[in-house]
């Protein structure tokens, strides 16, 4: 029995995997507690939502195979699930591309996924400059693991094994302009970085973030300049 807990799927999405029609798979659990997280139910109330079993998922996938060309794994943190690599192998047997959204705390699993060619696109969150990770994600963080994941992803990108992006959900409460200079140094040499504007339409881990002040688009555009000469492409989303 595959040890993985699927809590929801979006059958086909045009926005979650660049240039692909993808099925999105929501997995429970996370080792971070970002106050602005949009998926608290996947983290705190996973038992209240029945699992979609892997068998049910693959029956669906086999029926829809003709209409989709990608699967996006997100959460929560997909790599918290012991059966994740087995799950990815089953998807790859069907010759479907996989995009993995991760917080980067499990470099060992990322490395295995890359080595086994189980992943085609990795989107890794850069929560903040490393010194501010604990206050951003509300738990202790092993910075070495974050750095290792960044290095593995960039190296795999250089070798043409994967496409990737690093991204930060930006909030004035958590990120000062100086933090983006440090993030630019942390990911120097990367291909793509995305500044994500925070949106609070739904319940969050900490609802005190609901009416949170955000930076203006103009301010975000200003931050993109801090990446000049360090990162190839910087986008605002």
Contact residues toward ligand SF4 (CB under 6 A) are 30, 32-34, 37, 39, 75-77, 103, 137
Q: Where are the alpha helices (DSSP H) in the chain?
A: 40-44, 54-64, 84-93, 107-115, 133-137, 143-158, 177-186, 217-224
Element (H, E) at 7: strand 6-13
| Closest CB 138 distance from ligand SF4, rounded Å | 8
Integer Cα distance of 124 and 136 in angstroms: 15
Q: Measured from the CB atom, is 32 or 180 closer to ligand SF4?
A: 32
CA-wise closest residue to 75 among 105, 107, 37: 37
Q: Measured from the CB atom, is 68 or 99 closer to ligand SF4?
A: 99
Integer Cα distance of 163 and 167 in angstroms: 14
| Closest CB 35 distance from ligand SF4, rounded Å | 9
| Closest CB 76 distance from ligand SF4, rounded Å | 5
Q: Measured from the CB atom, is 70 or 75 closer to ligand SF4?
A: 75
Instruction: Map tokens 């660049």 to a residue.
Output: 18
Cβ-closest position to ligand SF4: 37
Three-state DSSP at 81 gives: coil
| Closest CB 75 distance from ligand SF4, rounded Å | 5
Q: Measured from the CB atom, is 34 or 146 closer to ligand SF4?
A: 34
CA-wise closest residue to 81 among 4, 1, 6: 4
| Closest CB 16 distance from ligand SF4, rounded Å | 14
Strands lying side by side in the sheet with 97-102: 6-13, 22-27, 70-74, 97-102, 121-125, 163-170, 192-197, 233-236
Q: Measured from the CB atom, is 91 or 137 closer to ligand SF4?
A: 137
Q: Measured from the CB atom, is 123 or 137 closer to ligand SF4?
A: 137
| Closest CB 189 distance from ligand SF4, rounded Å | 24
| Closest CB 224 distance from ligand SF4, rounded Å | 22
Q: Measured from the CB atom, is 76 or 107 closer to ligand SF4?
A: 76
User: Burial level of 162, CB count in 10 A (0-12/13-18/19+)?
Assistant: buried
Instruction: Map tokens 């496409």 to a residue.
Output: 163
């Amino acid at each position: 029995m595959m040890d993985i807990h699927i809590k929801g799927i979006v059958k086909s999405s045009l926005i979650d995997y660049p240039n692909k029609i993808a099925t999105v798979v929501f997995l429970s659990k996370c080792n971070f507690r970002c106050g602005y997280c949009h998926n608290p139910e996947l983290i705190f109330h996973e038992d209240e939502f029945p699992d979609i079993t892997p068998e049910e998922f693959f029956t669906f996938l086999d029926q829809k195979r003709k209409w989709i060309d990608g699967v996006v794994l997100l959460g929560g943190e997909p790599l918290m699930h012991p059966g994740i690599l087995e799950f990815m192998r089953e998807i790859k047997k069907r010759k479907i591309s996989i995009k993995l959204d991760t917080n980067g705390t499990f470099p060992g699993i990322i490395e295995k996924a890359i080595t086994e060619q189980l992943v085609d696109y990795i989107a890794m969150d850069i929560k903040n400059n490393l010194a501010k990770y604990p206050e951003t994600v509300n738990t202790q963080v092993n910075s070495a693991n974050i750095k290792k994941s960044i290095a593995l992803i960039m190296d795999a990108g250089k070798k043409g094994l994967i496409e990737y992006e690093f991204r930060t959900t930006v909030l004035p409460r958590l990120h000062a302009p100086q933090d983006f200079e440090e993030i630019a140094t942390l990911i120097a040499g990367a291909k793509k970085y995305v500044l994500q504007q925070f949106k609070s339409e739904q319940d969050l881990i900490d609802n005190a973030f609901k009416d949170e002040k955000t930076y203006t688009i103009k301010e975000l555009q200003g931050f993109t300049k801090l990446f000049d000469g360090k990162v190839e492409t910087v986008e605002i989303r």
